[in-house]
Structure 1
Amino acid sequence: MGDRNEVVETLKAAKSYLNHLENLNKQLENAENQICETSSETERNIEVTFSNLLTNLTEILLNRKDILIKKVQKTRKQSLAPLDASRSDIFSNIEKTKKLIKEGESLLNGSRENLAEFSQKSSFLGSLPAIPELKEVPYISFHCEPNLESELLDICSQFGEVSRIAPVQISQTVEKPGAILVEWQSVDDERCVDIQEFRLQRAFGDVISEKHLEINFSDCYVGTETQFLVKDLRPNQLYSFRVCCKFEGSSDWSPWSLPQVTKTSIKPFSWASNRDFVFADDNKIATPVKDAPSLLLSDGPQFAVGYSVEFSYLEIDNKCSTIALIAVKEAAGIKEIRLGDHSYFALDSTGEIYVDGVKKATKLPEAAKGFKICFMCELIQDDKVRVSIDTCNKQVTYDWQISKTDKLYFGALLKSPATKIMVE
């Protein structure tokens, strides 16, 4: 019996080992395919790019040559025109002079009756047309800057570059409610300090398996941060992300990183249905329909440690409103922010902060129309979290004594229909 059990365990281990080997072989095939496919695509890109460049450069140079030759021809024509006029005057005077000489010789050999007329005709003698000196006429020549020619040749000799891998790669994607936190880092240790800014793009779908989807990549962030929360995403919809960078002193972006395909299965933040409110934009925007409505709560315990939630006052009156995070042990009806068997972290529209009934010394700016308030939460210990509130470029941070197993809601206490709030 013992031998049989040993054989069974060995077979189980062997099958598990075989599965691992097959997975490794599959990963190896994927790596080989990536190398072969990207190298072939890069070769095609090089062929197309240099073919287009050669065509364009040839066309530009031929056009430039034609322009210069036409300029030479125009200059020659314009410069010869006054010389041709002078030559016509000279030829005319030569003919008149030859005729005068002939008449003069006839007078010497014959009658001198026309001597007065001959003398009159000779009055033009000694009058010579104005002819420019050689230094006054064009000396047409062609010249080009040797250094510029050398620079052009140097640029052509160094045009293009083959990268083994892009200098920036996406390191992690984290699911958030209706969003994905995309993080990236430099893989080029030598040049990472020279990076001036990053550029993140998003595309719908899986661009790895469906290459034609690459056409819908669009910018979602440009800046110096190494992470960005991409919001307004549909749950369970595949998205592709890629990132590149720009080095200091360069106007060109680097090659793109490997695309990362991911999705969020967490639905976006939204308000729970409440008959005292009207809702819009998939329950992200709420407006009271009466004065002193009931507490507006999130659609379940949507908030969690590691999340951030942003509230926007689209409209606000002069009555004190409150937004808060609420922690409860068990899912139960929450009627008030400050009353009940729960913990809360609240911010009044006056800027006052309250944590479990304790008013904090720091006060934030008073809320107004268009104000955005962001709550961020991180775990410090099993029974303590750290909450930061960010608004109007000001931030405060306090520790909050709650258990990591507590369920976290967000809520808003509004006072009249003149107030409208949005959660993201």
Structure 2
Amino acid sequence: MDKSEVLETLKAANLYLNHLNCLEGELENALEQIDTTFRNTEKNISETFSNLKDELMYILKKREKFLLDKAKKTESESLAPLQECRCIILNKIESTNKLIKIGNSIIDGVNESVDTFVTNASKLGSLPEVPDLKEVPYLSFHYEQSSEVEVKDILSQFGYVCRIAPIQVTDLSEKPGALLIEWRNVEIEERMTDIQEFRLQRAFGDVVKDKHLVANFKDCYKGLDTQFLVKDLLARQPYSFRVCCKFEGTSEWSPWSLPQVSSTSLKHFSWKPNEDYIISNENRIAAPKKSVSKILISDGAQFSVGHSVEFTFLEVDSSEALVGLIWDNLQNDMEISNLMAEGCFVVNSNGKIYVDGSEKSTVLPNFTKGLKVCFTCDLVNNQKVRVNIDSNEKRVTYDWPVNPDSKMLFVAHFCSNKWKIMVE
């Protein structure tokens, strides 16, 4: 082995060592994740069950006292009239015994008052009313054994340890001023049909490095789609995402997925400054200053395959207007007549669609205030792309012979100064 071979071997060995060090770092992160999540789970289980036991004991003692107090009150209220009746009976027994004693004395010749005997004798025959046993309370304690079984069953199955959350973020794709977040079920695929709702949250910053940022997670989507375009993001700023789900028949959300951190290097869609327009909101909103104005174009070729651009009409007029896409190489020769030529894909305010200057038979809804018109571009092959136009819940699709590697601009034009448009 000569010196050059030794050098090549050393180079390969150093490269191999770097790979091993990277793998060791990844393994260390995996070990730390298991250890950290176990300790957090152990603490959570202990605290949850401790709090639950205290709460259950409080509830049981409270219920026990309530039932004992109610039984005691029932006893007290039931005994009062019976004790009163008993006093009457005892008094009558005492007076009757005295009458009998006096009568016996009179018979035996003892000097007793006959008038007193006669007066007391007249009270005989008046008996107090004593209720039957079936008319007085018969206290007892009862409970539904099925409820007891149900409570025990619930407690015996309370909580579970989840090896990993059932839903995980699987892909984060860069878009202009946005990220397309995708997720899927990573455990039991057939349970996907049982999912009632997904929930996606976003946090500003990297929660993996800065754990305290977890408190900043906010909802950004709820629904049944397995992807969502998160808009209005700052370029090159890290954002964290997590997702969970709710299964049919449950009211609780599943555990959160592992947080995924990403950023977009593409700035948000914006209009190029134009002297004929008032441009605001970080160059996303434009309004013509005069009726005869130049064509409004994007600030560079921002649109390409895999992107979607949405135009929102904030103010409208009865005059003509149009929005659409053009090839990048047309931006230096932008006249209104050129928007009906090859390399242009536009829709006018009457909903008419023009592709490379050819009017299509399908018509979209007229432009109205608040209407959103969305262009989406997908790859067909290396010679054409597929453009979808969505407007007021109506979609049309055309294949456009454009090099998929080409960049495109989005454009707008208005024939009065009463229009206002927003792009995102």
Specify the alignment match of 1:80 in structure 2. 79
Q: How far did 1:342 drift?
A: 5.8
Q: How far did 1:333 drift?
A: 5.2
Matched, 1:295 2:295: yes
Q: In the alignment, is the contact (CA less than 8 A) between 1:328 and 1:341 conserved in 2? A: no
- How far apart, in 1, do the equivalents of 2:318 and 2:93 lie? 106
Of 341-350 and 326-335, the range deviating more from structure 2: 326-335
- Give the TM-score, by structure 1 length: 0.95
Specify the alignment match of 2:228 in structure 1. 228
- CA deviations over 1:209-239 (Å, ceiling 9, x no partner): 2222111212111111110011111222221
- How far apart, in 2, do the equivalents of 1:77 and 1:159 lie? 41
Task: Go from structure 1 to structure 2 and tell me whether the alpha carbon gap of 1:360 and 1:119 turns closer, same or farther (over 3 Å shift).
Answer: same
- CA deviations over 1:268-317 (Å, ceiling 9, x no partner): 11111112121222111111121122111111111111000111111101
Specify the alignment match of 2:261 in structure 1. 261
Q: What is the SS of the residue equivalent to 2:283?
A: coil
Q: In the alignment, is the contact (CA less than 8 A) between 2:174 and 2:265 conserved in 1? A: yes
Q: In the alignment, is the contact (CA less than 8 A) between 2:342 and 2:357 conserved in 1? A: no
Q: In the alignment, is the contact (CA less than 8 A) between 1:328 and 1:342 conserved in 2? A: no
Task: Go from structure 1 to structure 2 and tell me whether the alpha carbon gap of 1:332 and 1:340 turns closer, same or farther (over 3 Å shift).
Answer: farther
- How far apart, in 1, do the equivalents of 2:121 and 2:227 lie? 99
- CA deviations over 1:149-194 (Å, ceiling 9, x no partner): 1111111111110111111111000111111100001111353332
Q: How far did 1:116 drift?
A: 4.3
Specify the alignment match of 1:328 in structure 2. 328
Specify the alignment match of 1:137 in structure 2. 136
Q: In the alignment, is the contact (CA less than 8 A) between 1:325 and 1:408 conserved in 2? A: yes
Query: What are the equivalent positions in structure 2 for 1:148-163 lying under 5 Å apart?
Result: 148-163=147-162
Q: How far did 1:118 drift?
A: 3.3
Q: How far did 1:102 drift?
A: 4.1
- How far apart, in 1, do the equivalents of 2:387 and 2:19 lie? 43
- How far apart, in 2, do the equivalents of 1:337 and 1:381 lie? 30
Q: How big is the alpha-carbon RMSD for the aligned residues of Structure 1 and Structure 2?
A: 1.8
Matched, 1:345 2:345: yes
Specify the alignment match of 1:308 in structure 2. 308
Query: What are the equivalent positions in structure 2 for 1:25-424 lying under 5 Å apart?
Result: 25-108=24-107, 109-111=109-111, 114-189=113-188, 190-329=190-329, 332=332, 334-336=334-336, 338-339=338-339, 343-424=343-424
Of 96-105 and 38-47, the range deviating more from structure 2: 96-105
Of 405-414 and 64-73, the range deviating more from structure 2: 405-414
Q: In the alignment, is the contact (CA less than 8 A) between 2:341 and 2:356 conserved in 1? A: no
Q: What is the SS of the residue equivalent to 1:69?
A: helix
Residue type at the aligned position of 2:234: R
Q: In the alignment, is the contact (CA less than 8 A) between 2:301 and 2:328 conserved in 1? A: no
Q: In the alignment, is the contact (CA less than 8 A) between 1:169 and 1:186 conserved in 2? A: yes
Residue type at the aligned position of 1:412: A
Q: How far did 1:33 drift?
A: 0.8
- How far apart, in 2, do the equivalents of 1:420 and 1:31 lie? 52
Of 304-313 and 196-205, the range deviating more from structure 2: 196-205
Q: In the alignment, is the contact (CA less than 8 A) between 1:177 and 1:266 conserved in 2? A: yes
- How far apart, in 1, do the equivalents of 2:341 and 2:320 lie? 23
Q: How far did 1:252 drift?
A: 1.7
Q: What is the SS of the residue equivalent to 2:294?
A: coil
- CA deviations over 1:354-385 (Å, ceiling 9, x no partner): 10110011111112111011110011122211
Structure 1's unaligned 5+ residue stretches are none
- How far apart, in 1, do the equivalents of 2:122 and 2:67 lie? 48
- CA deviations over 1:134-159 (Å, ceiling 9, x no partner): 11111111111111111111111111
Task: Go from structure 1 to structure 2 and tell me whether the alpha carbon gap of 1:124 and 1:206 turns closer, same or farther (over 3 Å shift).
Answer: farther
- CA deviations over 1:67-100 (Å, ceiling 9, x no partner): 1111111111111122122112222323332343
Q: What is the SS of the residue equivalent to 2:418?
A: coil
- How far apart, in 2, do the equivalents of 1:158 and 1:404 lie? 56
Q: In the alignment, is the contact (CA less than 8 A) between 1:328 and 1:406 conserved in 2? A: yes
Q: How far did 1:126 drift?
A: 1.7
Q: In the alignment, is the contact (CA less than 8 A) between 2:340 and 2:356 conserved in 1? A: no
- How far apart, in 2, do the equivalents of 1:99 and 1:328 lie? 127
- How far apart, in 2, do the equivalents of 1:125 and 1:280 lie? 109
Q: What is the SS of the residue equivalent to 2:67?
A: helix
Q: How far did 1:340 drift?
A: 8.7
Q: In the alignment, is the contact (CA less than 8 A) between 1:298 and 1:411 conserved in 2? A: yes
Q: How far did 1:346 drift?
A: 0.5
Q: What is the SS of the residue equivalent to 1:368?
A: coil
